[in-house]
Amino acid sequence: MTKTTLTGIVLLLLAGCAVPPRQALIESADEKCRAISERFAGDLAYGDGIGADDSPGIRERVALLKDLHDHTSRMPKPETGQAELNAWLTKLADYTADLRKMSGMMESPQVADIIRAMQAGIAMESAKSLGQAAQRFGFKDCARTENWEHIAS
């Protein structure tokens, strides 16, 4: 067997073991979503309500979500499902924007509790929509957003 033949065989074997771009993207984003879900339920969880003291945590949530968006956008494009991925990335950006708005409202002493509650409701709907879009692409952990906006009662 020649060196060229052996090299070709090794390359074919390695190509057979490579993870397709879509699967690599799903695995990588889902790993980040697992970590985000843990933080959102842990040190970044809301208490009995959302108030001004939650603003730093909301800003941290925004930073984590922006990192997820940027990370996923930089990954190789999937061989299928680009439209679904783009829809999810749009929903992720929308949800991040909703949280950014909510953070700004938390810092405003003029904003009444009812307006804060309304913005929190918008963020809840946005998180739900984000999970549905993630599920359509094939994400698992990124589709589990039902507790991202949970408020303890």
Please list the pLDDT of the chain residue by residue as tens digits (153 residues).
555 555 545 444 445 557 899 999 999 999 999 999 999 999 998 877 777 778 889 999 999 999 999 999 999 999 999 999 999 999 999 999 988 988 877 766 666 565 666 666 677 788 888 899 999 999 999 998 887 776 654
pTM of the predicted model as reported, rounded to 2 decimal places: 0.76
| Contact criterion met (CB below 8 Å) for 81 and 137 | yes
pLDDT at residue 8, as a whole number: 47
Can you read off the two tokens belonging to residue 110? 């003029």
Q: Which of 42, 69, 18 is nearest to 147 (CA)?
A: 42
pLDDT given for residue 13 in this prediction: 47
Looking at residue 37, its amino acid is: S
